[in-house]
Amino acid sequence: MSELLTHEEYKAIADGLTLASTAFVDGGFRKAASGGTFDSIDPATGKLLAKVAACDAADVDFAVGKAREAFDDGRWRCLHPAERKEVLIKLAKLIRRNRHELAVLESLDSGKPVRDCATIDIPETINTLIWHAEAIDKLYDQTAPVGEDAVALVVREPIGVVGAVLPWNFPLLMLAWKIGPALAAGCSMLVKPAEQTSLSALRVAELAMEAGVPRGVLNIVTGTGPGAGEPIGLHPGIDMVSFTGSTETGRRFLRYAADSNLKKVVLECGGKNPAIVMDDAENLDLVAEHLVNGAFWNMGENCSATSRLIVHEDVREALMPKILARVRDWRMGDPLDPSNHLGSLIDDEHCAKVSGYLADAGKGVETLVGGTVEGNYVAPTIFDGVAADSRLATEEIFGPVLSVITVKASRRPSPSPMTAITALPPRSSRRMPAARCGPRAPSVPAR
C-alpha cells in the first residue's frame, strides 16, 4: 500500500491535478461570502497552486448553522453505529484508492517529501480512520452501582458541533486525528485547515461525501487564523474546539472559549524536546539513527522533534561522528523526487524565522554541519557548544536544527517552558523522576 512511484510518475500526477479551492459546506463547494481569496503557494518552487476562498465570520456562522442542523436532525448521530462504522471504513478505502493523488497534493501544498507522504502520512491517515471506525461498536456504556430499586446508566453521547483547527506540518494526518474520533462519536464538524495547506482537506471532504457522510456533517472552512480561526473559537454554536498548532495560538483558543460559551477546548501545542544520552548508553549506532530521525524528519517541522541533544562527555566523542555521518546521507531537493529525504520549509515567512536562528547562533557555537539556506530549503544543521540558556536551547525553532549541549555529570536537563518529549537510554530514564521518557525512541508523545 505504501509503494513508491518514480519521480516522473509523481510529476505526471501533479500536472494532471484538478485542485478544489473553495470552502466545502453542506455537501458542496461554495465561495467565501466576501468573494475574497488568498494564494496557496508551492513552497518548494514558489509557484501559485490555487486561489483559495478566504472565509470569514459570516462563512463560519453559515457553516455552523448547517452543522447544527445536521446534528439536531440526527442524520449522522442517529445512524446505527454499524452504519457509521461502515461509512468511515469506506472513507479510509477511498483514501487508499486515491493515495498517489493525495500524496502528491500533500507534497505540493506543504513541501513535504512525497516519500514521507506516501509511506507515512497516508498510511497513518488510513489507519487512524479505521481505528476509530472499529472503536464505534466496541466502546460500551456503563452502569453505576445503586440500590435494588434503581438503575443508573452512564451513556456516551456526541458532544455536538466540533470545530477543528489544523496545523500545516501534517495536514492529512492531523485531519484524520480530528475527524476520526468526532465522526465516530456522531458529531458534526467544522474544520479549518491551515491557510498554507488547505487543498488536501478539501479533497478528503469530497471523498467523505462519496463514502456516505451526510451533507452538513463535515464542513471545511478555508481561511486565515484571524479571518476564520478566531470566529470558530468565539462562536457560541460550537460545543468543542480541537486545535493543533503553536502554544501562543493555543492560549488564544482558551481565551476565546472563556469569552464565548465556555466550550470545551482540546490543545496540542509546541515542544522543545531533549534527547539525553548518558554515559551508560549502548549501541551508539542506533542512538545516532534515532537522533537524526528525531531531529530532521519532516524538516524538523514537528512539535515532537528532537531539537536538543544533551550528551555526556564520556560518550560524546564516539557518538558525534556517527550522527554526522548519518546526516550527510540525507538528501535534500525536489519534494516530488522519492529519493529525497528532505523537502522545503512551509513558506518564506517560516524560512526567514528559522534562518534568523541560524544567524543568531552566537559566539562559542560551532556549526558542525549545515547552516545554509537556499530559497525555502534549509540544510539540516547541527550546532555544538550551545549554552543551555540560549535561544537555540530554549525556544522552539520548528526547523532542521539540532543543538548539542555537553554535560560532565548526570543532571536533569535545563528547563524549557515547551518540553513535550524526552528520549533517554533505558537505564538512564529511571533517573528522571519528573520526566516523560521514551527509552530508545526519537520522539514519544508525552502530554
**In this structure, are residues 201 and 166 in contact, taking their beta carbons and an 8 Å threshold?**
yes
Is residue 140 in a domain?
A: yes
Is residue 441 in a domain?
A: no
Q: What is the pLDDT of residue 418?
A: 52
Beta bridge partners of 154: 142
Q: Place 414 in a pLDDT band, splitting at 50, 70 and 90.
A: low
Q: What is the pLDDT of residue 85?
A: 98
Q: Of the candidates 184, 192, 34, 44, which has an alpha carbon nearest to the alpha carbon of residue 107?
A: 44
Q: Of the candidates 252, 70, 57, 239, which has an alpha carbon nearest to the alpha carbon of residue 162?
A: 239
Q: What is the percent of the chain where pLDDT is above 90?
A: 88
| Domain count along the chain | 2
- pLDDT average, residue stretch 131-159: 94
Alpha-carbon span 3 to 406, nearest angstrom: 41
Residues 109 and 65 in one domain: yes
| pLDDT > 60? residue 287 | yes
Q: Place 441 in a pLDDT band, splitting at 50, 70 and 90.
A: low
**In this structure, are residues 172 and 106 in contact, taking their beta carbons and an 8 Å threshold?**
yes
- Share the mean pLDDT of the chain: 93
Is residue 447 in a domain?
A: no
Residues 281 and 373 in one domain: yes
Catalytic residue among 106, 268, 301, 396: 268
| pLDDT > 60? residue 428 | no
Q: What is the pLDDT of residue 1?
A: 53
DSSP one-letter string for 352-383? HHHHHHHHT--TT-EEEE---EETTEE--EEE
The domain boundary, picked from 268, 287, 308, lies at 268
What angle in degrees, to the nearest 10, is found between the helix axes of 171-185 and 122-135? 10
Is residue 178 in a domain?
A: yes
Residues 260 and 203 in one domain: yes
Residues 221 and 257 in one domain: yes
CATH number, domain containing residue 263:
3.40.605.10
Residues 336 and 357 in one domain: yes
| pLDDT > 80? residue 400 | yes
Residue of 120 and 415 predicted with greater confidence: 120
CATH number, domain containing residue 285:
3.40.309.10
Establish whether 124 is a catalytic residue.
Answer: no
- pLDDT average, residue stretch 276-302: 95
Is residue 16 in a domain?
A: yes
Q: What angle do CA 96, 98, 100 make, to 5 degrees?
A: 100
| pLDDT > 90? residue 2 | no
The domain boundary, picked from 224, 239, 268, lies at 268
Is residue 399 in a domain?
A: yes
- pLDDT average, residue stretch 120-127: 98
Residues 260 and 296 in one domain: no
Catalytic residue among 303, 351, 396, 437: 303
Q: 308-342 burial, b for 16+ CB within 10 Å, e for fewer?
A: bbbbbeebbeebbebbeebbeebebebbbbbebbb
Q: What is the pLDDT of residue 411?
A: 56
- Lowest-pLDDT choice from 95-104, 230-239, 246-255, 359-368: 359-368
Condensed to tens digits (0 to 9), the pLDDT of residues 325-345 reads: 999 999 999 999 999 999 999
| pLDDT > 90? residue 71 | yes
Q: What is the pLDDT of residue 446?
A: 39
Is residue 149 in a domain?
A: yes
**In this structure, are residues 114 and 342 in contact, taking their beta carbons and an 8 Å threshold?**
no
Residues 98 and 81 in one domain: yes
Residues 25 and 153 in one domain: yes
Q: What is the pLDDT of residue 360?
A: 87
Q: What is the pLDDT of residue 445?
A: 41
| pLDDT > 80? residue 112 | yes
Residues 396 and 249 in one domain: no
Q: What is the pLDDT of residue 364?
A: 87
Residues 146 and 201 in one domain: yes
**Residue range of the domain that includes 379:** 273-429
- pLDDT average, residue stretch 97-102: 98
Condensed to tens digits (0 to 9), the pLDDT of residues 173-225 reads: 999 999 999 999 999 999 999 999 999 999 999 999 999 999 999 999 999 99
- pLDDT average, residue stretch 294-322: 96
- pLDDT average, residue stretch 128-133: 99
Residues 232 and 342 in one domain: no
Residue of 238 and 416 predicted with greater confidence: 238
Q: What is the pLDDT of residue 66?
A: 99
CA 282, 283, 284, 286 torsion: positive or negative? negative
| pLDDT > 70? residue 267 | yes
Residues 15 and 46 in one domain: yes
The domain boundary, picked from 237, 268, 299, lies at 268
- pLDDT average, residue stretch 390-411: 91
Condensed to tens digits (0 to 9), the pLDDT of residues 343-369 reads: 999 999 999 999 999 998 888 899 999
Alpha-carbon span 132 to 90, nearest angstrom: 13
Establish whether 268 is a catalytic residue.
Answer: yes
Is residue 443 in a domain?
A: no
Cα separations in angstroms, 382 against 91, 297, 300, 357, 403: 41, 14, 12, 12, 6
